[in-house]
C-alpha cells in the first residue's frame, strides 16, 4: 500500500494546473473586498455553496464569473503566489501553469496586467525551490480571430511563456479550429498541448486531430484515447504525455478514470497526475495522487512511475530532467 507520506515526499512536476482554478474562497473574498466588487457572497461557506457542478459546462458557468475579482497586477501575483506556496508544500519541483488571457482581456483587463503579475510570481517561486513556467491557453469557445489577436499580444512576452494550450468548452470546438494559431505559435518556438476533456461528444476525433494533424506534444486529460488502440500505440511510440486529473474527472463525471490511467500506463503511455482546478475540485496534487492510489490500489512503483512521467513529458531540458529523475 502507498502511504500519504510516500506521496508527500515524492518530487513531482505539475503540468495541468489552471491558475484561475486555484482561486480559493478566502482569496476570492479578500480580492472582492479589496477591489470593491459585490460577488453576492460574504462567507467562505456561501462561496462554497456555489460550487455545484456535474459536467464541464456547469463548472465553467461558476468558474468564469468568479474571475471578476481579479483586477490588478498584484491580484494575479497574489493568486499565483498562493498556489506556488501550496505547490512547494506538495513537493512540486516544476510546474507549467495554464492561464486564460481572454477570460481577462474580454472584461477589460490588459494582457500586460495578467502576464506581469503571473510572471513576477514565477520569479519569486525560485526562493521556494519551485521552478515555474507559464502556458497560455486559447479559449476554444472564442473565435480563431480572437486567438490570433491574443497570440499577437503575447509574442512580445514570449520569453515568459513556454507553450500554448487550448481549454474551455470543447463542445463543437475541435482542436483544428486553431490549426493556424498553433502553427504560428510553434514557429515562434513555443511548445503545444491541447485539452481533450473526458467523455466529450467527439473525444476520439479531437484527440486524433490534436496528435496526428497538429502534432501536439501532450494531451490534457485525453483518457478516452483507450477507446482507440491505434492512437494508444501512436501515443506510446511518440512519447506523448497525458496530463490526467483524477479529482477533476470525478467531479465533472461519475468516473475518476483510474482504470484507464492504469491501463495506459501499462501500455507505455506517459500519463501523469495533476490537479486541474484545485480550489474547485477539492484537492491539490498530492490529494489527486492519494485518491487515485487508494481507489485503484496502486503500488509504490506505479506511483513513482507517474511522478517520473511528469518530469519526462515536461518542457524542461534533458539535462534538467536528469537532475530531478
Q: Write out the residues near ligand ADE by the rule CB under 6 A.
A: 18, 21, 56, 167-168, 195, 197, 248, 276-277
Contact with Zn ion (CB under 5 A) among 276, 287, 290, 312:
276
Q: Is residue 292 within 8 Å of residue 278, measured between CB atoms?
A: no
Binding mask 236-275 for Zn ion (x = CB under 5 A): ----------------------------------------
Residue 96 touches Zn ion, criterion: CB under 5 A: no
Dist CA 59 CA 8 (whole Å): 28
Dist CA 242 CA 125 (whole Å): 25
- Label residue 36 exposed, middle or buried (CB < 10 Å: 0-12, 13-18, 19+): exposed
For ligand ADE, which is the closer residue by CB, 253 or 305? 253
Q: Is residue 124 within 8 Å of residue 118, measured between CB atoms?
A: no
Q: In whole angstroms, how close is the CB of 147 to ligand ADE at the nearest point? A: 15
Q: In whole angstroms, how close is the CB of 250 to Zn ion at the nearest point? A: 14
For ligand ADE, which is the closer residue by CB, 98 or 111? 98
Q: Minimal CB distance to ligand ADE: which residue?
A: 167
Q: In whole angstroms, how close is the CB of 197 to ligand ADE at the nearest point? A: 5
Gyration radius of the chain's alpha carbons: 18
Rounded to 10 deg, the angle between the 73-89 and 111-124 helix axes is 30
Q: Residue written as cell 468548452?
A: 169
Dist CA 76 CA 52 (whole Å): 25
Q: In whole angstroms, how close is the CB of 139 to ligand ADE at the nearest point? A: 8
For ligand ADE, which is the closer residue by CB, 105 or 316? 105
Please report the sign of the dihedral spanned by the C-alpha atoms of residue 288, residue 292, residue 297, residue 300: negative
Residue 104 assigned ligand-binding role: no
Dist CA 46 CA 49 (whole Å): 5
Residue 78 touches Zn ion, criterion: CB under 5 A: no
Residue 147 CA to its chain's centroid (Å): 18
Residue 141 assigned ligand-binding role: no
Select from ligand ADE, Zn ion, none the partner in contact with residue 168, using the beta carbon and a kind-dependent cut-off of 5 to 8 Å.
ligand ADE
Binding site listing: 16, 18, 195, 276-277
Binding site listing for substrate: 277
Binding site listing for Zn(2+): 16, 18, 195, 276
Amino acid at each position: 500500500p502507498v502511504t500519504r507520506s510516500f506521496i508527500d515526499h515524492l518530487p513531482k512536476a505539475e503540468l495541468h494546473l489552471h491558475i484561475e482554478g486555484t482561486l480559493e474562497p478566502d482569496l476570492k473574498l479578500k480580492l472582492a473586498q479589496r477591489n470593491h466588487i459585490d460577488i453576492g457572497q460574504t462567507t467562505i461557506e456561501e462561496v462554497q455553496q456555489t460550487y455545484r457542478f456535474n459536467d464541464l459546462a456547469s463548472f465553467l458557468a461558476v468558474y468564469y464569473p468568479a474571475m471578476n475579482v481579479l483586477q490588478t497586477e498584484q491580484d494575479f501575483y497574489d493568486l499565483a503566489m498562493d498556489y506556488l506556496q501550496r505547490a512547494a508544500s506538495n513537493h512540486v519541483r516544476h510546474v507549467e501553469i495554464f492561464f486564460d488571457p481572454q477570460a481577462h482581456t474580454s472584461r477589460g483587463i490588459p494582457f500586460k496586467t495578467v502576464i506581469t503579475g503571473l510572471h513576477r510570481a514565477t520569479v519569486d517561486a525560485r526562493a521556494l525551490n519551485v521552478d515555474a513556467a507559464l502556458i497560455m491557453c486559447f479559449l476554444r469557445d472564442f473565435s480563431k480571430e480572437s486567438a490570433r489577436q491574443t497570440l499577437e499580444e503575447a509574442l512580445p512576452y514570449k520569453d515568459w511563456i513556454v507553450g500554448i494550450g487550448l481549454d474551455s468548452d470543447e463542445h463543437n470546438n475541435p482542436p483544428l479550429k486553431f490549426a493556424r494559431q498553433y502553427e504560428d505559435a510553434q514557429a515562434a518556438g513555443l511548445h503545444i498541448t491541447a485539452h481533450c476533456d473526458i467523455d466529450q461528444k467527439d473525444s476520439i476525433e479531437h484527440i486524433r486531430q490534436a496528435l496526428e494533424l497538429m502534432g501536439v506534444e501532450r494531451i490534457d486529460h485525453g483518457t478516452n484515447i483507450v477507446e482507440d488502440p491505434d492512437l494508444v500505440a501512436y501515443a506510446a511510440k511518440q512519447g506523448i504525455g497525458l496530463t490526467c486529473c483524477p479529482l477533476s474527472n470525478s467531479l465533472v463525471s461519475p468516473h475518476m478514470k483510474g482504470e484507464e490511467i492504469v491501463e495506459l500506463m501499462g501500455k507505455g503511455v506517459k500519463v501523469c497526475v495533476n490537479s486541474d482546478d484545485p480550489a474547485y475540485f477539492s484537492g491539490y496534487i498530492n490529494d489527486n495522487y492519494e485518491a487515485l492510489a487508494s481507489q485503484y490500489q496502486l503500488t509504490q512503483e506505479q506511483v513513482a512511475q507517474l511522478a517520473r512521467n511528469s518530469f519526462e513529458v515536461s518542457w524542461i531540458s534533458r539535462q534538467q530532467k536528469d537532475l530531478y529523475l
